[in-house]
């Protein structure tokens, strides 16, 4: 069954069947990643541009790897090595790239709405790899895949997203995706980092991290985004770590067998202690591995629609 839309701009409004299809397809590609020769001919002849206007390690490398595993031709674009550095506009840059006959564009940009704008000026399939504080759909898809792989389901689970919800594209994509899949979603963090209207999305708000640990099956722990002026929303990093940091003491005190996710990169000793980041509850590196399979699934499903 094909996806409803020829682009992946976000998970808001994406039906459960589409999310299920992407995750089920990723399971089959996950098996390819275990083979001695990790390559299938599925997207042979397709050209994909990775347009990263913002830094990335996991998303950029996993899209590149996914494209290679599917035998697509991939081109990597970074602003510092392009004519953007000479002042070429975004629109002219895209028009020139499109003139080279590309089929798909993976885009990360600090401005929310950039992937949507690309759909208006370019014929290629557009995949959002993170746009400002709007959405990061493939991160939420790989998070859901990793939860389902570990716990066998998503529907009915109690899942709490912890941290700077207001400035997190990962949080919003997770909320839309998890709600669509039937999870009970809550958020936890300082009140300054929780949007006033979050309850309109059907999400519970918890201000105490111990309560969040007690009540939930899964915590998705967000990075405190120091580069996005997160410090202005709480008195000090030490105070954030004291009241919201996930530590072994906190997990032991609450005596819970809880599953912990983190999208990375990690601030060890801030939102998560080093011991917990490497400990038995977390599946952080499984998320990264599953990220390649999820991106293969999205590229395959969109790339074979045309």
Asked whether position 264 contacts ligand CP by CB under 6 A, the answer is yes
- The CB-of-285 to ligand CP minimum distance in angstroms stands at 12
Contact 218, 259 (CB under 8 A): yes
Rule CB under 6 A: choose which of 25, 47, 50, 59 binds ligand CP.
59
Three-state DSSP at 100 gives coil
- Bridge-based pairing state of the strands 158-162 and 184-188: parallel
Q: Which x/- pattern, by CB under 6 A, does the window 61-100 give for ligand CP? A: ----------------------------------------
Which segments within 156-235 are labelled E, that is strand?
158-162, 184-188, 204-206, 218-221
Tokens of 67: 């494209």
- Closer by beta carbon to ligand CP, 64 or else 184: 64
Residue 78 CA to residue 23 CA, distance in Å, equals 29
Asked whether position 58 contacts ligand CP by CB under 6 A, the answer is yes
- Closer by beta carbon to ligand CP, 206 or else 276: 276
Tokens of 300: 């395959």
Asked whether position 263 contacts ligand CP by CB under 6 A, the answer is yes
From the list 54-62, 83-91, 205-213, 278-286, the region that binds ligand CP by CB under 6 A is 54-62
Residue 170 CA to residue 60 CA, distance in Å, equals 16
Asked whether position 146 contacts ligand CP by CB under 6 A, the answer is no
| Contacts to ligand CP by CB under 6 A | 56-59, 130, 139, 263-265
């Amino acid at each position: 069954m094909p996806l409803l839309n020829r682009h992946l701009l976000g998970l808001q409004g994406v039906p459960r069947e589409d999310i299920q299809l992407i995750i089920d397809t990723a399971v089959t590609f996950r098996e390819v990643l275990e083979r001695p020769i990790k390559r299938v001919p599925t997207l042979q002849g397709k050209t994909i541009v990775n347009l990263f206007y913002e830094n990335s390690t996991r998303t950029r490398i996993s899209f590149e790897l996914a494209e290679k595993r599917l035998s697509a031709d991939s081109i990597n674009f970074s602003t510092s090595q392009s004519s953007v550095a000479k002042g070429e506009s975004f629109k002219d840059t895209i028009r020139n790239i499109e003139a080279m006959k590309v089929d798909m564009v993976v885009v990360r940009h600090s401005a929310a709405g950039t992937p949507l704008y690309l759909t208006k000026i370019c014929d290629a399939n557009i995949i959002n790899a993170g746009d400002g504080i709007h959405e990061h759909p493939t991160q939420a898809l790989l998070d859901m895949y990793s939860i389902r792989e570990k716990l066998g389901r998503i529907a009915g689970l109690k899942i709490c997203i912890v941290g700077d919800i207001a400035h997190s594209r990962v949080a919003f994509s997770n909320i839309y995706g998890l709600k669509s899949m039937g999870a009970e979603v809550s958020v936890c963090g300082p009140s300054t980092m929780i949007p006033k209207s979050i309850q309109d999305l059907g999400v519970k708000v918890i201000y105490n991290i111990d309560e969040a640990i007690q009540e939930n099956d899964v915590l998705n722990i967000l990075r405190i985004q120091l580069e996005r002026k997160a410090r202005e929303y709480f008195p000090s990093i030490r105070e954030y770590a004291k009241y919201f940091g996930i530590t072994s003491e906190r997990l032991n005190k609450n005596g819970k067998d809880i599953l912990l996710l983190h999208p990375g990169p990690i601030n060890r000793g801030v939102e998560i202690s080093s011991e917990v980041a490497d400990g038995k509850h977390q599946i952080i590196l499984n998320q990264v591995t599953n990220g390649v399979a999820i991106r293969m699934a999205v590229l395959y499903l969109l790339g074979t629609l045309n």
